[in-house]
Every structure is written in structure tokens, then in C-alpha cells.
Amino acid sequence: MTFGTSGADPYVTAHGDTSYGVDHYDLALTYAVRGNRLNARATLTVRAVETIQRVELDLHHLHVEKVLVDDTPARYSHKRGRLSVRLLEELAAGDTAEVAVMYSGSPKPVRKRHHGTAGWEELTDGVIVAGQPHGAPSWFPCNDRPSDKASYSLEITTGSDYVVVANGELTSTNPHGRTTTWTYQQPEPMAPYLATVQIGKYEVHDLDADVPTRIVAPARLRDQLDDAFGRQAEMIEMFQELFGPYPFAGYAVVVTEDDLEIPLESQSLSTFGANLVRGDWEAVRLVAHELSHQWFGNSLTAETWQDIWLHEGFACYSEWLWSEASGGPTAQERAEEHWTRLSGLAQDLLLADPGPDLMFDDRVYKRGALCLHALRCTIGDNAFFDMLRGWAAEQRYGTVTTEGFIAFVATRCDADLDPLFQAWLHEEALPDLPSPR
């Protein structure tokens, strides 16, 4: 029997518990933008992985008012961001319990030494939630590890002059005078860090695309949206051809009134600052990057943060694929450009295990993309894109590892690719880029 752990992932310490998983989160939030005041109830269906007598949840900065286990008041302690809940009786592996947490307060981002701040953040007039990699506990109690994926119901009540966007499909909007309740359902499994709420004074624009797609943005940016997102529908069509069917019911792009340093990835939606609504390559590539994460990062999620290249390398390579398809430099030209740049930088990064200090280093993104391009050059386009579609299909809604990716590629290719993967993933020196087949 276990009584919880001090953390499930060495890259994001003191978060997550591997002794149990969560099947479903039901989140009911009431939020006042003015004053940044949250009152909430989170109901979690937890399932024991081994025999347990308590569950450890992650919840930072907020005040716990009451905890119920199967509708019965439960004993708990809440210290240093960990909410320890004693179950009514031991749960054997496979058994479930319902844990409901009533809590309130003024949410703020979670700060970590290696990664800075992440989570619930106030905008000038609204809210943005950027959870990667440790920000989910800033607004709801969770088992904060990327490998613990669950379905979600999200009900958010706030002022009626605001638009609320969250994960999944909007199923109802119920006005109550000065407030409105927005309800979203995310049935496909989702890691906690990908859960989000976006609140602002926005307009909603529906696009004509193969997948139901919305652009949600301030009215003042209405005439600029086409610069950045005018080819969003084409991107979706192309990525479906290359990666397989889009994995969720729809896709939303939120543009905040405020400027943002970088765009933000969430399941079924992406968020961009007003400063990123531009038509130049440095802005448009990010549109492709965030869209591709719906396949690589959201549907297929790294089991641990060590394997983040399986998100970022694939998303960066998707930028190069869009560049080639949209009339810009080819993927080969992009690869040569970035290989040259990386060759002049420090050779001290292991792509398959960059460590917490370097997990968001740009070299992880670019070297990951170069590894994929080297693979494409080695096995040829037909085999490469057949492999990508197969990988996305076989691992759909699951968690993935580097070892699993290498093993999958081996089932699709006759060539001996061990030297290629050894050089790109497990050695620090930058390998030569092979010539295209």
C-alpha cells in the first residue's frame, strides 16, 4: 500500500502521483474578473493503480473549504501545494471513488525554479490560462502529470459581457442577467496541463473549414485576422492529409487583447497575443506550430517531460512542412538553415533527455525537427508520411515515449535506423544531415 508520492516526474518535481489516475474531472467555476475572485467545485473520479488509502492532489495558492469522498466529508491536509485526502476505505487497484473539493481564492500562476511561472493569469481585462508544464494546479485540484489523461466537463460562470473559451465543445450558454454560464465538454482524454480557460471581451468568427473552426478575438483586430489566420483552413486540410484525421470535435484560436511573448498550446485550442496577428513568416509559422500540437502533444502526449521532443520537434517540423506547401522555402532548405545555426551553438544537449533546465531550449525544437527530417531523407517521403499517419493513429489519445516511437518506426521500415536515432537522440554532437532520397 502506498500513501502518495512526492512527485511523479523529475522534470517537474512535487507534482503528480502515480498510485492513482483520474478518469474524469467535473469543474464548476464562478469567477469575477474584477477582483480576480474564484469560487469553485471540482469533482474527480479517481481510480486506484495500486492499493491506496489516500490520494494526493496538486492545488496551489487557493483555499480548500471542504472535501467529500463519495458524498461524505473526508479528512484532508493542504500544505505546500499538495492536498492529501484520506479515503473512506482502502481502494484496491482498479476501484474508483469520487472526490469533490470545494475551494476559493484569487488564483495566480505557479512558479517553479526551472520553468518560471505557468497557470491562471490575469490580463488587462480578462484571463488566460497557460498550464505548460506545471500550471494546472493554479486553478483546479489535479493529478498533475502528463501521463494521467482524463475526460473533462467545464462549467464557467462569469460576467455576461465576457466570452469564455475552454477545451472541447461548447454545449450550452445560459445567461442569468449579469452573469452567463458557459459549459464545455472535452470527452477525449486530456493531460491536466492542457486544460484551459480563456476569458475576454471577444468576437467569435466561424471559418469555413473541414473541421469546425473559430477565431475568437477583440473587435479592434477584426480586419487584421486574415493576415495571420487567413490560411488556417488550408493548414488543417494539409495536416489531415499528412498526419491523419483531426483528433477533436473542433478547433479554436483565441487572440488576446494583450501582447504575449509566445503563443500557448491547449487541447482543441491555441492562444495568441495581439502582437502575433501578422502575416510574416515568424508569426505564421507559429500558427502552423500550434495547430500541429493537436496531433503531437495533445492527442499523443509524452508520458514524461523527458520526451518533450515528441511534442516540440514534431511541431517545429510541421512549420517546415507548411513552409514548403505554402510556397516558401522547402523543408530541406529550412533544415539546412537550422542545421547550420545549431552547428555553431554549444553541443551539450541530449535530445532524448535534455533535463529540466533545457527542456524548452530552442535546440530541443530544432534538433527534434532535424531528427525527423533526417529520418525522412533516409527512408523516403512515402515511408515517412505513412509512418507519421500510422503513429498518430495507433497512439491516438494515448501517451508516448521515445522508445515507443523508435520501436514503431522499426515496424514500418526495413532499414537499420539504430545509428540514426543513436546519433540524433542519445549523443550530444550534432550529426551530419543526410541528403534527401
Which of 264, 294, 324 is a domain's end point?
A: 294
pLDDT of the residue at 115? 78
Q: Are 167 and 298 in contact (CB under 8 A)?
A: no
pLDDT of the residue at 1? 30
203 is catalytic: no
CATH number of residue 265's parent domain = 1.10.390.10
Exactly one of 155, 290, 303, 319 is catalytic; name it.
Answer: 290
Evaluate if residue 183 carries a pLDDT over 60: yes
pLDDT of the residue at 4? 38
Evaluate if residue 314 carries a pLDDT over 90: yes
For 210, which DSSP code? S
Please state the rounded mean pLDDT for residues 219-234. Answer: 97
Residues 395-436: tens digit of each pLDDT: 999 999 999 999 999 999 988 999 999 999 999 999 999 998
pLDDT-derived band at 5 (thresholds 50, 70, 90) equals very low
Domain range holding 232? 202-294
Exactly one of 20, 184, 251, 365 is catalytic; name it.
Answer: 365
pLDDT-derived band at 112 (thresholds 50, 70, 90) equals confident
Evaluate if residue 64 carries a pLDDT over 70: yes
In a domain, 351, yes or no: yes
Strands 150-159 and 96-105: unpaired
Residues 127-165: tens digit of each pLDDT: 999 999 999 999 999 999 999 999 999 999 999 999 999
61 is in an annotated binding site: no
In a domain, 82, yes or no: yes
pLDDT-derived band at 2 (thresholds 50, 70, 90) equals very low
Distances (CA, A) of 326 to 73, 83, 235, 251, 331: 58, 49, 9, 21, 11
Residues 113-133: tens digit of each pLDDT: 777 899 999 999 999 999 999
User: CA 121 to CA 99: how far, in whole Å?
Assistant: 26
Q: Tell me the average pLDDT of the chain.
A: 96
236 and 134 part of one domain: no
Please state the rounded mean pLDDT for residues 176-198. Answer: 97
In a domain, 431, yes or no: no
Which sign, positive or negative, has the C-alpha torsion 227, 123, 173, 170?
positive
290 is catalytic: yes
| Number of H-type helices and E-type strands within the chain | 9, 23
377 and 260 part of one domain: no
5 and 65 part of one domain: yes
User: CA 44 to CA 8: how far, in whole Å?
Assistant: 19
Number of separate domains in the chain: 3
Closest CA to 248 of 183, 296, 295: 295
311 is in an annotated binding site: no
pLDDT of the residue at 113? 77
60 is in an annotated binding site: no
212 and 319 part of one domain: no
